[in-house]
Amino acid sequence: MSSLWYDATVQASVNAAAVLLNGGSIKIFTGTAPAVNGALTGTLLATLAFSATAFAAATASAGTVTATANAITSGTAAATGTAGYCALVTSGGATVATGTVATSGANLNLSTTAITAGATVSCSSLTVTQSETGT
C-alpha cells in the first residue's frame, strides 16, 4: 500500500534527519555508493563540514519536501581520485545518507569530479528532498 503523507508529517521527518547532521560532514569517496545501511567503501577524497545547524527548516511544495543546507565549509582533499559518491555523516561518524556525485544531475554536484590531493574541495549548496507519496 502506498501512503500519501501530508506536508507536516514529511517536514517533521526531514527536519529530524537534518538535525542529525548538525556539526556533521559530507564525505566524498571514489567508487559507487554502498547498498542501504552498507559500509562506506572506496577512497575518502575529501571531507566538507556542515554548520552547527546543518539545514534550514524543510519546506513543502508540489508534493515534495526540501531542506537546504546552511553554509558548508570547504575541505582540503586528502587523496587523488574520481569522486563517485558522498556520505552525509553525523558529528559522531554515523552515516545518515549516501548520494551520487557528478558535475550535474547528481545528489552532489561539483565543478569537477577529478579531485587532487591538497586541492580545495567546496560545495556551494546542497538540498535533500523527500516525496510526500511514500516512495
Residue 115 has pLDDT above 70, yes or no: yes
CB 26 within 8 A of CB 50: yes
CB 89 within 8 A of CB 95: yes
pLDDT band at residue 1, thresholds of 50, 70 and 90? very low
Matching residue, cell 501512503? 3
Residue 73 has pLDDT above 80, yes or no: yes
DSSP codes, 12-81: HHHHHHHHTTTT-EEEEEES-PPSTTPPP-S-EEEEEEEPSS-BPPPEEETTEEEEEB--EE-EE-SS-E
pLDDT band at residue 134, thresholds of 50, 70 and 90? low
Instruction: Tell me what the mean pLDDT of segment 76-105 comes to.
Output: 95
Residue spans of the domains in the chain: they are 7-119
pLDDT of res. 2: 56
Cβ neighbours of 36 (radius 10 Å): 7
Residue 135 has pLDDT above 60, yes or no: no
| pTM (two decimals) | 0.90
